[in-house]
Structure 1
Amino acid sequence: MIALSLAEIADVVGGQTYDIPDPAVQVTGPVVRDSREVEPGSLFVAFVGERVDGHDYAADVVAAGAVAVLAARPVGVPAIVVD
């Protein structure tokens, strides 16, 4: 993966950053949608599914090393919010 900063990712996806102390922080790990696959430096994409809402795992994935969450709403941890 090409390392991109959270500011660059927000610009690419047309999102707004929330609770990000340093937008220059780079995502250096994989982009994942399964909270069990989070690694240090990853970006977690929060999907709303039929039975599970990925937004509910935002604090857990950041604690596990994700740099931020790509989300549909602010989640109380570093996030890029898109429609």
Structure 2
Amino acid sequence: MVVSVTVADGRLWLAAQGGEVAGSEADSRMQLPSGRGQDLLPSSPTKFFFRQFDASVEFELGADGEVIGFVQRQTGLKTRARRLS
């Protein structure tokens, strides 16, 4: 699944193509609605939460301070995503 994080109107938005993340039976999975992006609200410089549902995103930074990925936490599951570009 491809997820994009963008800045618009001074706010972060997360949008996905939708569907369930594929993986082996042992891998955690997450479900994201497709279509309109979800507004991310800050709780710290690297941690954000969703207004619409009970989930959070924590951005992971490399040694140079650039974002290298994030971890989404939802309903007790952690799903890691790496930055593609």
TM-score (norm 2): 0.31
In the superposition, the TM-score normalised over structure 1's length comes to 0.31
| Greater fraction of residues in helix | 1
